[in-house]
Chains A and B, each alone.
Chain A
C-alpha cells in the first residue's frame, strides 16, 4: 500500500463548480500536511499547508482528519486557471524530515 494515496482523476468540471479532492495517508506519526499544485512540465508549488483546525485561503479550503488519516482540498467557484495537478504531501518529523508525495489528482476546468 502506498503511503499517500490520491484519486488520479481527471476531475473534469465546468467553471464555477465546486470540486473536492481527498488524500489518505498510512503513517499515523505524520505531522505535517500540504497541498501542492503542479502545472504541466513545471515544478510543484505550495498551495497551502493543512492544519488540524482546517484552514481557508480564498476559494481554497483544506481539512485534516487525523482519526481517519485523510486530508481534503475543496475548491469553490473553479476558474480555468485552476486546471492543474494537485499533489498531497505528508511528512513526519521523527528523525529525518522526508515529505512523501501522492501521485496527484488532475483537475480540468472547462468553460
Chain B
C-alpha cells in the first residue's frame, strides 16, 4: 500500500493563478480531510469528506473548493491564489469504523504564492 499520497510536493504560484492539489489513498478509507499548517498555528481544517460525493466545510474554507468524485481521491482547488494561501497543505484519511482510530497523513504539499 502506498498509503496517502499528495501531488504535487511543491508549487510556486503567482497571485490570481489557479491550481488543484490531489490527495489519493489506497486504503479504502471513507473519511478524508484537507488541512493547512502555518507557523505557530497548528493544523487547521479546510474541508473534509465523509464519503464519495460528499464534502463539508471546516474551520478555514474560504478561497478553497473541494471535490470527492472517487472514494480514493480528494481534490483541493484554489481558483484564484492569494499570498495568504502560502502554506503547507496536508491531506489525511481515516476508515469509517472509527472508535479510537487515528488519521493517516500524506507527506504534504508546500505552496508558495507570490
Contacts and interface: CB of A to CB of B under 8 A. Distances in A.
A87 B48 contact: no
Interface stretch (B12-20, B64-72, B77-85, B101-109): B101-109
Interface string A88-111: 000001001111111110000000
A43 B33 CA distance: 14
Given A8-B40, A103-B40, A44 B105 contact: yes
> For the complex, would chain A's binding face be called helix, strand, loop or mixed by DSSP majority?
loop
Interface residues of A, number: 22
B72 to A, nearest CB: 18
B107 A42 contact: yes
Interface string B18-31: 00000000000001
Given A43-B106, A44-B90, A97-B94, A102 B48 contact: no
15 contacts: A32-B99, A43-B106, A43-B107, A43-B108, A44-B90, A49-B102, A87-B42, A87-B43, A96-B31, A96-B56, A98-B45, A99-B33, A101-B43, A102-B42, A104-B42
Interface of B: 31, 33, 35, 40-45, 48, 50, 56, 58, 88, 90, 94, 98-103, 105-108
